[in-house]
Chains A and B, each alone.
Chain A
């Protein structure tokens, strides 16, 4: 079994979210109180560098092409985390005319973190699970 020397990069996309989950994501990433970098991952500005994709929002009709674009640009293997109730199952927006979700219509989701918004600790839980799945995927690829 080989040792993974690289750290995973996180990339987040907002697909019509109310910004509640984005604030919680910013909290986990930026303030030292819930430091997500302790798990060995960092935020990146480009989906081409990303290993873990964090999706917030119920995938509105307007934001859907941008999400598909990001999904095309991700390098293999990647892990998808649905942050919040909206991408997981559309929650209270289900069956709305402008909602094209949930996320698992378009890509194989690996971890769901429901909550409206989820706590920073719950997001850290989800990211920790995603890192484990990512390591497993790399091992399977080799």
Chain B
């Protein structure tokens, strides 16, 4: 009897446990896997996320001098493979869970990130620049001599490195 009274009084003091969500705020866990956020500056358009996505929600297409990274949420299963395998950490899953959408916006329910190509300083050819995150992964220390190669296309970079060695 006393146990029951204890619970009854505790519940009276606590108030309702109903989540007030559509009319009020709700609790969102930090680690909830929701919509993607793509950092276009860190992304190198390598295509790893497109490869590992089990439901083919991610597509990377090439326009003129620009890569377009598209994620369609109506087929995404929010597994987080893209975040796990991204070599530069450009993709992050936010805890935004608002996924309900009407039929009219079914095929427009996407996020788009555009990864611009950079013009080579020497030959003027457009190429995907290595991002800072990629350099930090490749080199133990990112200093000026490494940063100098960021704006050179692969061929010019090879040439420059070779000349530096043999002069």
- Measured CB to CB, the residues of A under 8 A from B are 32-35, 38-39, 85, 88-92, 94, 104, 108-116, 118-126, 128-129, 133
Q: Taking A91-B55, A115-B78 as contacts, is the C-beta distance between A33 and B18 under 8 angstroms? A: yes
Are the CB atoms of B55 and A88 closer together than 8 Å? no
Q: Distance (Å) between the CB of B144 and the closest chain A CB?
A: 46
Q: Distance (Å) between the CB of B33 and the closest chain A CB?
A: 9
Contacts of B72 in A (CB 8 A): 89
Q: Does B62 contact A (CB under 8 A)?
A: no
Contacts of B74 in A (CB 8 A): 85, 88-89, 112, 114
* Given A114-B101, A133-B102, 8 other A-B residues pairs in contact with their CB atoms under 8 A: A90-B75, A91-B75, A111-B102, A112-B101, A114-B99, A115-B78, A125-B99, A129-B102
Are the CB atoms of B75 and A114 closer together than 8 Å? yes
Q: Which of B19-27, B36-44, B129-137, B149-157 contacts A (4 or more CB under 8 A)?
A: B19-27
A121 to B74: give the CA distance in the assembly, Å.
17
Contacts of A116 in B (CB 8 A): 77-79
Are the CB atoms of B18 and A109 closer together than 8 Å? no
Give the residue name and chain of the B residue nearest to A116 (CB). Answer: B77
Q: Summarize A's interface: helix, strand, loop or mixed.
A: helix
Q: List 12 A-B contacts (CB under 8 A).
A: A35-B18, A85-B74, A88-B74, A91-B75, A91-B77, A112-B100, A113-B99, A115-B97, A119-B97, A121-B19, A123-B100, A129-B102
Are the CB atoms of B97 and A121 closer together than 8 Å? yes
Q: Distance (Å) between the CB of B131 and the closest chain A CB?
A: 30
Contacts of B26 in A (CB 8 A): 121
Q: Does B103 contact A (CB under 8 A)?
A: yes
- Residue from the list B16, B76, B97, B101 in contact with A85, Cβ < 8 A: B76
Q: Distance (Å) between the CB of B111 and the closest chain A CB?
A: 13
Give the residue name and chain of the B residue nearest to A113 (CB). Answer: B100
Contacts of B78 in A (CB 8 A): 115-116
